[in-house]
Amino acid sequence: MCLDKARSWIETASSITALTGAGISAESGIPTFRGATGLWKQFRPEDLATPRAFARNPELVWQWYDWRRSLIHTAQPNAGHGALSELETRVPRFTLITQNVDGLHQRAGSRNVLEIHGSIWKLRCTKCRRQWHDMSVPLELPPHCQCGAFARPAVVWFGEGLPEDVWAAAGQASTECDVFLVVGTSAIVYPAAGLIDLARAAGAKVIEVNVERTAISAYADCALTGPAGEVLPELLRTPPSSASRLAPEIER
Ligand code: APR
């Protein structure tokens, strides 16, 4: 059973890195981007999540981010976030790389979190590039920097580079781990998805947790099917004597 193997890899690992995507926050009520109910079904990323979109209509972009902030503000971390926070306490070296900007991993207690796509709770000045946290909901729109210039969400938009220091740390954590957990991501947005190949090439055991098959399921050493809020706690639980009640996972 690949679940049993995955458990033993985790129990014996001295270094674990996790890469999470929007799927880990789905059970907290936060919409994913793709799939039947994804945000990109209702909105066009080119209108809301690119530098050109912001230059063209900053008010519209800020209204959308303020709406997402109001959704996230009322959301609570779920058992999937909690399981990763628990895992961090059990293993000597743990790095959580997240594509999510919602901050739920930190609210669940995770400490070593690399936000490779930035944070929806941070703003950055479009002129002096100063960056600051602003947790207010709703925001006073459009927000300005102390220097008087427009502020933008401190998130990574399509066509933008990732924060260099964070990206370097994510690359290092991907090549130096025994186990690489991939949770709740469609694994089609690069360079983030490239971390999975990096980990595999460096010899890590890749364990995927997703409700459906993805672009990397066939390359995972173990692909577990089910919601992260159920699978991750199960993965960390010492195996019950009877057969696990998880849906049969996809064998390699
Ligand atoms: N548990 C586990 N996985 C889930 C769950 C769940 N409860 N619900 C959905 N999923 C899976 C979906 O099957 C899908 O594979 O989560 C994944 C979500 O994929 P996307 O919506 O594409 O989100 P993500 O992979 O994080 O997108 C990457 O794209 O739009 C950009 O910057 C944005 O960071 C985002 C990036």
pLDDT in tens, 13-51: 999 999 999 999 999 999 999 988 899 999 999 999 999
Q: Give pLDDT, residue 35.
A: 86
Task: Examine residue 247 and state whether it is found in any structural domain, yes or no.
Answer: no
Query: How distant is the alpha carbon of residue 117 from its chain centre?
Result: 9
**Ligand 1 mutation target, pool 166, 186, 195, 212, most atoms within 8 A of CB:** 186
What is the chain's mean pLDDT, rounded?
94
Task: Note down the domain range covering 174.
Answer: 1-29+77-117+162-239
Q: Give pLDDT, residue 240.
A: 54
Q: Which of 84, 102, 106 is nearest to 16 (CA)?
A: 84
Specify the CATH number for the domain of residue 176.
3.40.50.1220
Query: Ligand 1 centroid vs 31 CA: distance in angstroms?
Result: 9
Q: Say whether both 134 and 220 belong to one domain.
A: no
Ligand 1 atom index nearest CA of 38: 21
Helix (H, G, I), strand (E, B) or coil at 39: helix
Ligand 1 atom index nearest CA of 214: 15
Task: Examine residue 110 and state whether it is found in any structural domain, yes or no.
Answer: yes
Residue-wise pLDDT for 141-161, tens only, equals 999 999 999 999 999 999 999
117 as an active site residue: the answer is yes
Query: How distant is the alpha carbon of residue 125 from its chain centre?
Result: 24
Ligand 1 atom index nearest CA of 33: 21
Instruction: Give how far Cα 173 sits from Cα of 14, 96, 161, 177, Å.
Output: 12, 9, 19, 6
Task: Examine residue 250 and state whether it is found in any structural domain, yes or no.
Answer: no
Query: Ligand 1 centroid vs 23 CA: distance in angstroms?
Result: 4
Q: Give pLDDT, residue 249.
A: 52
| Amino acid in position 3 | L
Residue-wise pLDDT for 98-141, tens only, equals 999 999 999 999 999 999 999 999 999 999 999 999 999 999 99
Q: Give pLDDT, residue 252.
A: 42
- Select which of 73, 105, 117, 144 is catalytic: 117
Nearest protein CA to atom 14 of ligand 1, as residue:
186
Q: Say whether both 23 and 139 belong to one domain.
A: no
Query: Ligand 1 centroid vs 228 CA: distance in angstroms?
Result: 11
